[in-house]
Amino acid sequence: MNKKNSKSFFSVIVILSALSLFWLTAHLFESYPWLGQYPQRDPDSVLFARLLEQSILRGEVIARDSYGCFPYEVELKFAPFYRHFLFHATSIFFTIFPDCGFDPISVAGCLPVVFAWLTFLLVVFTFFKIAQRQSLALLIAFCSLPGLTASSLSFFMKLDYDFLISFFIWSWVCAGAIFLASPSGIIKITAGITAAIFLRTWAGADLKSVV
């Protein structure tokens, strides 16, 4: 790959990446999130938005809540990583931008979009790493541009497990593909860490250590 072709290749990837990010975020402007019109149509989204809000108000990740059973409290039987992820992700954002006036729930609501975009970049990088061919990587990049389905899956304020679980699954698959092409200890460790975090995130894991 000569320098000129390399520059053109990465320029196209950047353009496609920007189109992907724009496509994923275009529906935010249709929903007017700054007016509080959050399209929270998924029950899990509403639940996790409440748990995040209560955690922020109390200054710690809550383990018990009265949602749906007031005035009683029930112990939250969700995989622990996800609750900590939402809480600390928003905390880190406001640590970096202390004067930001955004609603913490709005910040968390953008996480699905960000991780859908990261998944797009991860898949394109994996195919390029394995094949070392610009044409194939560009074809995958074009095919990875999100349409209505991908946009709906990463819908604003859909704060359930799906987007993070999908990212970990794709990360594990991509790490495995790269490892098969060129075995590396770092890739093996990365895949192991990804699998471990996936189990700590997935609510369906039937393991006492997870729930």
Tokens matching residue 96: 């970096």
What is the pLDDT at residue 52?
Answer: 87
What is the pLDDT at residue 157?
Answer: 60
Question: Mind giving me the DSSP string for 117-169?
Answer: HHHHHHHHHHHHHHH--HHHHHHHHHHTS--HHHHHHT-TT--SSHHHHHHHH
pLDDT in tens, 76-106: 777 778 888 989 999 999 999 888 878 888 7
pLDDT in tens, 179-211: 988 888 898 899 999 988 888 887 655 554 444
Task: Specify the residue for token string 């999908």.
Answer: 166
Tokens matching residue 205: 């894991």
- Please state the pTM of the whole predicted model: 0.72
Helix (H) / strand (E) containing 97? none
